[in-house]
Amino acid sequence: MPRALITGGAGFLGSHLSDRLLAEGYEVVVFDNFVTGSSDNVAHLVGNPAFRLVRYDVTEYLYLDGPVDCIFHMASPASPIDFPSKPIQIMKVNGIGTMRALGLARAKGARFLLASTSEVYGDPLVHPQVEEYWGNVNPIGVRGVYDEAKRYAEALTMGYRRFHGMDTKIFRIFNTFGPRMRLDDGRVVPNFIGQALRGDPITVYGTGQQTRSFCYVSDLVDGIFRLSQTPPEVSGPINIGNPTERTMLEFAQEIKRLTASSSEIVYEDLKTVDDPKQRKPNITKAQQILGWEPKVSLEEGLQKTIEYFRGKLAEG
């Protein structure tokens, strides 16, 4: 039975990755300090003999007894609301935490996979975004603590790969949604769904013409898993996301329709600085190298996510 460590494994994405790895026959160890993750996300796995959850801050020290075949470094606050409220934690987990995770992978002879982000492209001047694009990032802006931390984590990963000859892989996550997102996440999916289900006005910022592409979580996890099975010469970075692009206004209208909400759509001034105007992945590499592309439609994914949030709101 191969053994995997997931840092940040009690988070939205990490918990779904835990499900997939267990289904694939892995033993899974999750480290999480619960800054943004929640034990609720993996509560259904407690009692599984192949699963272990440990409260752990990977920026302090990183050790795991026994063999480790694969490390998925998923730990990091990732929502725009976290950038001004958790800047130091974000920088530390992507800097010190990445270094410690790489050190453990080297000591164990384990494959290392870094969860990077489309935010490394900043407010892109190239559209759609290809992996070769270096980005347009404001290093001293509010978003810079996340954007630059992930860029540094990528550089650190490649440094360990080149100097120590390690098997490392980088995947860049584009907008992803699904059950287990935080309702107060601050990102567009929980914002719009929460407003629609409560009957509050659905808030669209600016003209609503800024675009995003939304990938359902099971598709994203499938891409990550496929990358983890590739030979050592595959290093990435590889974009994993859904290339179907929609404006924020179109997205608000779709959620209003699917929730049968009486909410009105209202417009407010843009509040975030350096917010990308366009975001869409080029997934040619994922298609060619991983044989991967998203399968879940936006409507199907939103229906599952709406039901999850409807249940959360009912719980109070």
Catalytic residues: 146
Residue bearing tokens 């601050």: 186
Distance CA 30, CA 120 (A): 26
Residue 162 neighbours by CB distance under 10 Å: 11
CB 204 within 8 A of CB 266: yes
b/e code 256-266 from CB counts within 10 Å (16+ = b): bebbebebebe
Instruction: Provide, for the chain, the percentages of residues in helix, strand and coil under a 3-state DSSP scheme, each rounded to the nearest 5.
Output: 40, 20, 40
> Residue 305, CB half-sphere, CA atoms under 13 Å: how many?
30
Structure tokens at 130: 């290809």
